[in-house]
Amino acid sequence: MFAKVRESEITEAIADRFSREFKEYITSDVIIVGAGPSGLMCGRELARDGIKTVIIESNNFLGGGFWIGGFLMNILTFRAPSQEILKELKIPYEEPFKGLFTTDAPTTCSKLIAAACDAGVKVLNMTRFEDVVYRNGRVGGVVINASPIASLPKALTCLDPVAFESKFVIDATGHDAIVLQSLKRRGIVNSKEYGPMDIIASEDGVVEKTCEIVPGLIITGMAVSTAFGIPRMGPTFGAMLVSGKKAAGLVKSALVRDPVKV
């Protein structure tokens, strides 16, 4: 029934393709750190316009908190007008209250992942962000390593990382804001801590404050709340998608102004 293929040919096919694609993205237009909803949305918007985009994700799975809603109930909520993005991605939804929409989390997450991949985003999962490439006052890439290294005994963790370069890096790592924190430790940028829940203030604030916080680094999603002390938003996700779109728009505008920014 199946083609007769040797085990060695399978190994060679995996190694050849992975090596080829890995090398292709050592230099790219945009590196997104974090494959949650804002990172995936941003990647989809960039890649479908032909912008060379790679997403770095430390977990084996993509989607972050998008797989589940509140209290282990796998229903997501969105406030108007973010249902327009649900329509765009062909995600079914219900409207239990005026202006409030619900979706099935696995369906929503799967469709967003597929949309990003179909647009041409390259994903490196099980890939851990360790540091930024930073020169002449600008973020110009990321330092990465294999995620399992973090779980090894200390005596075995001295395995050198590698670096990818890009015109922009986008921190889509949620409340942890790990890219931003790597700069904060060096005194390059200040950041706060996200505040207690206030959905109305949080969603508006996250979108409004999505920005290029230092040259070459754009923050999106809940990383914005950590940067500016904006309240947390709980299991509602409209701002994640809208913020991801806005981050992509910032990149596009910058590349139009200066296509060879790096």
Banded model confidence at residue 234, pLDDT cuts 50, 70, 90: confident
The contacts of residue 83 (CB under 8 Å, 6+ apart) are: 93, 95, 101, 238
pLDDT tens digits along 143-181? 999 998 877 777 666 678 999 999 999 999 999 999 999
Residue type for 157, please?
Answer: T
The CATH number linked to 260 is 3.50.50.60
pLDDT tens digits along 59-88? 999 999 999 988 999 999 999 999 999 999
- State the Cα–Cα distance between residues 221 and 40, nearest whole angstrom: 11
Structurally, the chain folds into a number of domains equal to 1
pLDDT at 157: 64
CA 161 to each of CA 132, 197, 221, 241: distance values in angstroms, whole numbers, following the listed order: 12, 37, 27, 31
CB 241 within 8 A of CB 39: no
Residue appearing with tokens 């929409």: 101
- State the Cα–Cα distance between residues 47 and 121, nearest whole angstrom: 6
User: Does 1 map to a domain?
Assistant: no
pLDDT tens digits along 185-215? 999 998 888 888 889 999 999 999 999 999 9
Structural domain harbouring 239: 29-52+61-122+147-174+221-262
User: Does 99 map to a domain?
Assistant: yes
pLDDT tens digits along 25-69? 999 999 999 999 999 999 999 999 999 999 999 999 999 999 998
User: Does 246 map to a domain?
Assistant: yes
User: Does 197 map to a domain?
Assistant: no
CB 226 within 8 A of CB 180: yes
User: Does 132 map to a domain?
Assistant: no
User: Does 153 map to a domain?
Assistant: yes
User: Does 137 map to a domain?
Assistant: no
User: Does 129 map to a domain?
Assistant: no
